[in-house]
Structure 1
Amino acid sequence: MKSKIYLIKILIVVINIVVVWRLYDICIVNHEKYEYLSSITNEKIIESNTTLRGRILDCKGNVLVDNKGIKVLYYTKIPEIKLSEEIKIAESLAKVIDLNDFRVTDLQINEYVYKKYKTDIDKRINKEKLKKYNERKLNENDYLNYKYSLITNEEKTSISNLEVYIYNLMNSGYSYQDKVIKKNLTDEEFTMINEMNLSGIRVDIDYVRIYKYDTSLNQIFGSIGPITKENKAKYLNNGYKLNSIVGVSFLEKTYEKYLKGSARKYKIKSDNTLEVVDEGKKGNDLVLTIDIDKQIKIDNVLKEEIINAKKSPNTKYYNGSNIVVSDPTNGHIIAMSSYEYNNGALNYNTIGILKNSYTVGSVVKAASMSTLYKYNAIPGDRVRDACVKLFSQNEKCSWKSLGIINDIDALAFSSNYYQFLGAIKLSGMEYKYNMKFNPARDDFNKYRDYFKTLGLGSKTMIDIDGEDVGILGSMISGDLLLNLTIGQYDTYTTLMLNNYIATIANGKCRYKLKIADSIVDESSNKRVINKDEILNNYEISDENYTRIKAGLRKVVTNGTAAYYMDKKYNASGKTGTSETFYGGANTYTKSFIAYFPSDDPKYALTIISPNISYKNSTSNYKYPINSKLSRKIANILFEN
């Protein structure tokens, strides 16, 4: 028993020694360390709403999208702040800031005046009224209105509407949220507010995006804004605040995780004023594949030609054209431009390049011919161009009689007849005049599946939200299969056409298209974040590919695009005209695709001009906008 007591005494002594040593360590040896740890543990830290986002640059480092700082007056409700203090803040701010276009209601005025002068007003309450209220013979709302009626005119005129408005801003929404009192503070307002040292009040620098160039690309850079309701959970799970400003569309949204910076942090001091403890960090710069010098020049020639076209006959339904230029060796977008003509004004329509699809006419014939090669359905080496007549259908012919042609000539001079014969042969039949032709859905799929490997009817996988895939016709018939082979059935976007001609240009594979390539951090370190990617191979024999190239080259040397480009650029391409409809009228849509130089392609070009003319009884004139644009664009691309 005595030994147990002895052990307990020893244990008590040891514990006391440890406690004393610990107290000595905390209070004497490492006093400053523990004082600091205690302070940061009990500190209340708040963050700014906006961050300094990374810039958006072109491929040469030119700044396309930058930040502009604006002074914003914020109020953050401090825990346990008194009503009288908040009223004092509102009163003080109303004396030094100007706000326009605000309004307050009579109820808001009464509520504020009552809170400010509550002690005096409550002294005027009639005892009978108070008794009725306590006995619940007078409801809360009526009792409040009664108290508001006791407000004197002197009390009402002693406050300003601005004071009321500021107070209501301070107490709107959730209590933990920062409240914006005023944006774009003047330097004078900024100085006076800083001198006041008001509780919970801070002037922060918020950033807005500014566009450095007037270019149609501005539309796809996207915008920033508050977190939307549907994305709330995703952002909160990734460490954002509910009132954070994020990328909400296009490139700003796609590359949010790279562009976002870290927020400035403030400590709430003991006197309830705020002190900056972390300045935050700028986001990464996003480097695009765009060449802004070429982009601006292409924008300008497009605007010029749209205006010229609208001055010409038969352009009643024409509203603008789409242009895409890419590098066929890797899928990098160099320029993309689209404008829409509306009552004399030209508006950005670059989103239309992603979303709007068209029947594009004979530009698809290189894909159709490639399909015929795959299925050994080439009509022959010497075919006399003519018309096809199917049972119960009108004759279907080429745009003119082309004489004796082979596959290369059929591409160069755009024979419809040659494609029609090939489609019938692919379906396992031989053409006879007035024949019944009922192809299977599998025959449509043979074309469509091969078209997709070239980019027609499949997404280009460009890194911009909202890309459309066009429309595949659902009905099948002999006449519709023939239409499919000449670009008069399914619809394709401008991006798809560019992906298609770029795939033919490199002759090996289809790359995904991309507009962003890499990021640059604060230390100027560059890192590729969107790698070049092969989507699929171009399945064609060397012999047949040589013939496709020969046909497309002949289009530009002495075929349907003989005047589309200066011969020194050694271009290959294909023109297309489709019969379309707009506003109840029969219209024509013109398309052009090209790559150049033919022997070492550096550029893939696509132009679509929807509804450039329409059928009418007075004129069949079609303004040659695609040829004018292609000549000018080629000159721009090869400028030093």
Structure 2
Amino acid sequence: MRKYSIRTFDSKVNQKLISYRMNILFFATTILFSLLIIRLGYLQIINGEDYVRLLERTEEVEINTSTPRGRILDRYGRILIDNEPENVITYTKMQTTTLKEMFKIATDLARLIDQPTNKVTYHDKLDYWMFVNEEAAKEKVTEEEILEFRKQNPKFSKNAISQEHDRRVRERITDKELATLTDFDLNVMAIYREMLTGYFLSPQIIKGENVTIEEFARVSEQLSELPGVNATTDWRRVHASTLSVLGRTTIPSKGIPKSQINAYLARGYARNDRVGESYFEWQYEELLQGQKAVVKNITNKQGQVKDTITTFEGEPGRDLVTTINIELQRKAEAIIEDKLLNLKSLGHSELLDRAFYVMMNPNTGELLSVVGKKIETNKETNEHYMADYSYGTFSTAYEAGSSIKGATVLMGYNEDVITPGTVMLDAPMQIGELTLNSLFNKHGSEMIDDLKALEKSSNVYMFKIAMAIGGRTYAPGMRFSLAKGTLTKMRNEYAQFGLGVPTGIDLPGEAAGYQANPDRDVKLLNLAIGQFDTYTPMQLVQYISTIANGGYRIQPRILKEIRKPSNDGEILGPLVLEVPPTILNRIANTEEEIDHVKEGLRRVYFGSQGSARKVFGDAAYTAAGKTGTAQVVYYGPQHDKYGTETINIVHVGFAPFENPEVAYAVIFPWATTNFDVSLPHGNQAAREILDIYFELKDQYQNENISTNKVQLPMTTFSEKVTEENEESE
């Protein structure tokens, strides 16, 4: 019998196992290679283009191009604020640009332009010295010092240790060493610090004001040797009006105000973008600001920009048409200035320094004229000059005197304490030791109704309305008190007209006025004749407008239209939006009650005993209004004169009487400290400006000038008067 050895059997088994394992390995390898081939095919065929684009990466970036800001025009298309081109030098930083490369460019550029060095700081000088004296800087701090610092602060990061090293170097740089820096070094520093503030791939203005023709030419010739530098054209804001409520913008060297930088950066602004920083320019920033160009930067895998493609060329800001009639505005300014200076020359006028005038369409809220003038003193020369103070029409408040008596009578109707035609006795009132009377009737007695009370400006009639609202009836020698809540009730009534509350004007910084707490009830009587709470000139024009239009409180505004940018700079672009009127509320009085008060106000101008008859009695148009003389205590800018008794001169009105087109308010605060004179300046200013309004209205009709055309010719009303610059901030 044949015998098999155990060794031979084991060998055959091993050979089978090896063969089996090899087959598995070959099969697995085949599967893996198949998957790899499939994956490679998928990557190349399906996603191949995506990976090619990844290697040639693109990035769409908004760049800070010189996109003009929208123009601001008056209601007839006359330019108020425009743009003017100016030469600028810019620098665009790439992702791969090193600090040493930027420093070399700054040094080369310093040989071509003179950069203002007023912004170079002490810290800038230290950094510059360290940069150009690298070896000397290293010697100021030994390695042993830093090793010891590491041992003492083992948790500090490498960056923190580096900052400590630099801090010690700066501490040891002497004034003598800094004194070696030349004017050229300062020029380099000034340029370099501007280059550092820019964003990658976004042009940063290095020099944006007062670039000379020679500097522009020198830089233009050397552009090939100055990577990232460009000599190009930017723009600056040019004002054809001194009207301060139009506001101002920042300039590139200032950029976004620090207090607002986070809000603007979140909305896609760059740090050195111009932005509106006051009033109309600030309020409508998003409309006026142009849209930046968008470019596609094509980069290679090293992050270097190979090509730049513009995908959106940018667009100028919207043109904004205001409600202002600049011709009327300038003539009104001249009249207010003349009256102010005349009052100032009369004596007893040491407190007088300002005057205001506002004209508004009572049906739409459109402000046709906003005048504020203030006498200022030059601190260097001590000379006086006239400054625009138009923003004071809504940011400062004053006692308005008898001008608010129309609201007081309507309040009496609404509180059911009088009715149209109610007759009361006007005679001096004795309340305790206090005697109250009307200026026209200091000693006699006269029965008058509400119309006569308005015509002659009766204080006593208004006092008795206030007392009735407070639940009291006058009796000679009475002890005086009013029902709790009378003050609040009266203020709520006045608020219906816009007195003592914000008007809602479309400008920032509006004041509501001052409301004191009376220490005695009897002082509430002064509230009824406008000698307690304070009101802004804008509130006064809103109040009289509310009566003029039949009881609707209209929001005053300066924006009339929004238009697309002009295609040729000569004809306005298409209309985007015509701003509609905003009705804030309607007063609680009936139409008949309002008409009755309007008749009383008409008699102020044309009645036989009207307080403004001497000035308005011969007018060729119909109108109505109310005069006011408020006896007040001075709390103005001259602190050493606090507590001085003085007089505010006020006038409000509207015209034409039958179908009002305009309402207006005039005020000369702290006009005189002489209580024995009657000053007509408020009445005169109101009449003279109203005459001009109607003259211009006839002129525009004859010349076929209208605000309703879809396209308005943009004509410059006069030579430019101011420009944006460093000093005008």
Q: Who is 2:265 aligned against? A: 236
Query: In 2, are the aligned partners of 1:102 and 1:165 still within 8 Å (CA)?
Result: no
Residues 290-319 of structure 1: CA deviation (Å, up to 9, x unaligned): 111111111111112222222223323221
- Structure 1 length normalisation: TM-score? 0.85
Q: Distance in 1 between matches of 2:196 and 2:45?
A: 52
Provide the rounded CA distance (Å) in 2 between the counterparts of 1:433 and 1:130: 95
Deviation at 1:143, TM superposition (A): 9.9
2:717 counterpart residue number: none
- The CA distance in 1 between the partners of 2:64 and 2:58, in whole Å, is 20
Shift of 1:431: 1.6
Residues 332 and 112 from structure 1, CA distance in 2 versus in 1: closer, same or farther, beyond 3 angstroms?
closer
* Cα shift readout 1:244-280 (whole Å, capped 9, x = no counterpart): 3322221112111111112245677888799683542
Alignment of 1:222-301 (within 5 A): 222-224=248-250, 226-264=255-293, 277=310, 279-301=313-335
Q: What is residue 398 of structure 2 aligned with on the other side?
A: 358
Alignment partner for residue 189 of structure 2, among 165, 169, 178? 165
CA distance in 2, matches of 1:614, 1:459: 30
Moved more, 261-270 or 383-392: 261-270
Match of 1:211?
Answer: 239
Contact 1:125 1:147 in 2 (8 A): no
Q: 1:259 to 1:461 in 2, by over 3 A?
A: same
Aligned equivalent of 2:380: none
Determine the structure 2 residue equivalent to 1:552: 601
Q: Does 1:385 align with 2:436?
A: no
2:623: which partner in 1? Answer: 571
Calculate the TM-score normalised by the size of structure 2: 0.75
Residues 183-218 of structure 1: per-residue CA shift (max 9 Å, x gap) = 23223322332332322323454433221123xx23
Residue of structure 2 equivalent to 1:199:
227
Any residues of structure 2 matched to 1:172-571 within 5 Å, and which?
Answer: 172=196, 180-184=205-209, 185-194=211-220, 195-197=222-224, 198-214=226-242, 217-224=243-250, 226-264=255-293, 277=310, 279-343=313-377, 344-378=384-418, 381-400=422-441, 401=444, 403-475=446-518, 477-522=520-565, 524-528=573-577, 530-558=579-607, 559-565=610-616, 566-571=618-623
Q: 8 Å contact 1:264–1:276 — kept in the other structure?
A: no
Alpha-carbon shift at residue 537 of structure 1 (Å): 1.0
1:81 aligned residue: 97
Q: Tell me the CA shift for residue 326 of structure 1.
A: 0.3
Amino acid at match of 1:513: P
Change (3 A) 1:132 1:499: closer
CA distance in 1, matches of 2:553, 2:138: 83
In structure 2, relative to structure 1, the CA distance for the partners of 1:107 and 1:455 (3 Å cut) is: closer
Q: Extract unaligned runs of 5+ from structure 1.
A: 27-32
Q: What is the DSSP-based 3-state SS (H/G/I as helix, E as strand, rest coil) of the residue aligned with 1:300?
A: helix
**1:96 CA displacement:** 1.0
Cα distance, 1:205–1:446 mapped onto 2, change above 3 Å: same
Q: Structure 1 stretch 486-495 or stretch 13-22: which is displaced more? A: 13-22
Structure 1 residues 49 and 564: alpha-carbon distance in aligned structure 2, compared to 1, 3 A threshold: farther
How far, CA to CA, are the matches of 1:448 and 1:407 in structure 2? 21
Q: Which amino acid aligns with 1:169?
A: R
- 1:30 is matched with which residue? none
Q: 2:160 corresponds to which residue?
A: none
Residue of structure 2 in register with 1:29 after alignment: none
Give the number of aligned pairs: 619
CA contact 1:49–1:244 (8 Å) conserved in 2: no
Corresponding residue of 2:689: 633
- Distance apart, 1:223 and its partner CA: 3.2
Q: How does 1:99-114 map to 2 (within 5 A)?
A: 99-100=115-116, 102=118, 112=128
Match for 1:209: what amino acid? R
Contact 1:75–1:178, Cα closer than 8 Å, also in 2: yes
Q: Contact 2:393/2:538 (CA < 8 Å) preserved in 1?
A: yes
Q: Does the aligned pair in 2 maintain the 1:573–1:592 contact within 8 Å?
A: yes
Q: Distance in 1 between matches of 2:691 and 2:341?
A: 20
Q: Quick check: 2:512–2:536 contact (8 Å CA) kept in 1?
A: yes
Q: Is the 8 A contact 1:564 1:630 kept in 2?
A: no
Moved more, 9-18 or 534-543: 9-18
TM-aligned CA deviation for residue 281 of structure 1: 1.4
- Matching residue's letter, 1:538: I
Deviation at 1:14, TM superposition (A): 6.3
**How well do the aligned residues superpose, as a CA RMSD in angstroms?**
4.0
Question: Is residue 572–residue 598 contact of structure 1 (8 Å, CA) maintained in 2?
Answer: yes
- CA–CA separation in structure 1 for the residues paired with 2:126 and 2:407: 75
| Aligned residue type for 1:224 | T
SS in structure 1 at match of 2:332: helix
Counterpart position of 2:74: 58
Is 1:624 aligned with 2:680? yes
**Paired amino acid for 2:282:** K
Cα distance in 1 for partners of 2:522, 2:493 equals 20
Question: What runs of 5+ residues in structure 2 fail to find an aligned partner?
Answer: 1-22, 150-163, 378-383, 567-572, 635-640, 700-729
Task: Report the Cα distance in structure 1 between the residues aligned to 2:563 and 2:56, rounded to whole angstroms.
Answer: 33
Amino acid at match of 2:74: D
Query: Percent identity, aligned pairs only?
Result: 27
Instruction: Specify whether residues 610 and 446 from structure 1 end up closer, same or farther in structure 2 by C-alpha distance, changes over 3 A only.
Output: same
Worse-matched range after superposition: 572-581 or 88-97: 88-97
